């Protein structure tokens, strides 16, 4: 870190893959380790920048010499925030990375989920519920879309991927830090909490009788809504769809069989956001 004296730590040599703090951080690449420590890793300049804007929740920043030279502003921001800066070797950084090309910049952060009651507090109008979604890239992209659409929260329900999975964190491009995130393995608890918050539960279902166009025309999308999205391969179980307040499909005008999860979520969330904002 010769190019930035503010970032220099007292130790003369960079941490290696065998340094105890690096070993402990490497456990956070696995869900069991994250759950045990209540911490996770945010990798790359964008994720680290957004994490640092979340005061008091970043505990350590591991950085290679080359990455420190490229990201002097982030290093200084971490120092100003009182975050411990630890220079690591390239090999140690690779061990903390879940990407093919490690960026050499990894933050150790507190986990983000809040209790359901907190995430759904304050009269929410638009919420995304992920139920049984297993692909971390899709889940992270839905978080990003929900953030962009102005949603009030994202809830990971049932056997859905961990929101702190490295690929999920990267796909969210920092949105994981922008809006309330909650998770519960009990889907019924999630649905009850949404209803208690005044939200209508709407299943995103490619086989639904009603579509978004009709819902938009008759004003159905103006209501406070929790959109429920199912797994990539199988969608939502029939029993879940029948238990929710209604279901809707995205109309397909061309020859495509369907839309993938993240694209369908973007269409649904933005349709609700537009309708809700038009009546404010």
User: What is the per-residue DSSP string for 168-206?
Assistant: HHHHHTTGGGTS-EEEES-HHHHHHHHHHTTPEEEEE-T
What value does the mean pLDDT take over residues 169-192?
95
CATH number assigned to the domain covering 116-278: 3.40.1280.10
CATH topology of domain 5-110: 60s Ribosomal Protein L30; Chain: A; (3.30.1330)
pLDDT-based confidence at residue 167 (cuts at 50, 70, 90): very high
So what's the pLDDT on residue 280?
Answer: 64
**C-alpha–C-alpha distance, residues 70 and 178, integer Å:** 25
So what's the pLDDT on residue 217?
Answer: 87
Write the DSSP assignment of 241-257 as a string of letters: HHHSSEEEB----SS-S
Residues in the chain: 280
pLDDT-based confidence at residue 12 (cuts at 50, 70, 90): low
CATH 3.30.1330.30 domain span(s) along the chain: 5-110
Q: Is the pTM of this model over 0.85?
A: yes
**How much is the mean pLDDT over the chain?**
92
Is 6's pLDDT higher than 90? no
Is 241's pLDDT higher than 60? yes
pLDDT-based confidence at residue 3 (cuts at 50, 70, 90): very low
Is 11's pLDDT higher than 70? no
Asked whether the beta carbons of 154 and 127 are under 8 A apart, the reply is yes
**C-alpha–C-alpha distance, residues 172 and 145, integer Å:** 8
CATH 3.40.1280.10 domain span(s) along the chain: 116-278
So what's the pLDDT on residue 233?
Answer: 82
């Amino acid at each position: 870190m010769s190019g930035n004296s503010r970032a220099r730590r007292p130790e003369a040599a960079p941490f290696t893959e065998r340094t105890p703090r690096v070993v402990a951080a490497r456990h956070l690449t696995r869900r069991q380790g994250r759950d045990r420590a209540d911490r996770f890793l945010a990798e790359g300049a964008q994720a680290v920048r957004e994490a640092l804007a979340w005061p008091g929740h970043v505990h350590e920043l591991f950085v290679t010499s080359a990455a420190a030279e490229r990201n002097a502003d982030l290093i200084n921001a971490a120092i100003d925030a009182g975050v411990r800066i630890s220079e690591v070797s390239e090999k140690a950084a690779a061990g903390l990375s879940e990407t093919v090309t490690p960026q050499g910049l990894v933050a150790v952060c507190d986990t983000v989920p809040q209790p359901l009651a907190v995430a759904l507090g304050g009269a929410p109008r638009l919420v995304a519920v992920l139920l049984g979604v297993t692909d971390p890239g899709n889940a992270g992209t839905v978080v990003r879309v929900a953030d962009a659409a102005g949603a009030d929260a994202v809830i990971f329900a049932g056997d859905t991927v961990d929101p702190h999975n490295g690929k999920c964190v990267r796909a969210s491009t920092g949105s994981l830090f922008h809006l309330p995130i909650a998770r519960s393995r009990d889907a019924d608890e999630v649905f009850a909490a949404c209803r208690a918050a005044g939200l209508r539960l709407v299943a995103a279902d490619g086989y639904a009788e009603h579509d978004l166009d009709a819902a938009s025309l008759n004003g159905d999308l103006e209501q406070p809504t929790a959109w429920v999205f199912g797994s990539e391969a199988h969608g939502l179980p029939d029993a879940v769809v029948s238990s929710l307040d209604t279901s809707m499909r995205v109309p397909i005008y061309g020859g495509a069989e369907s839309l993938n999860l993240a694209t369908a979520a973007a269409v649904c969330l933005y349709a609700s956001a537009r309708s809700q904002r038009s009546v404010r």
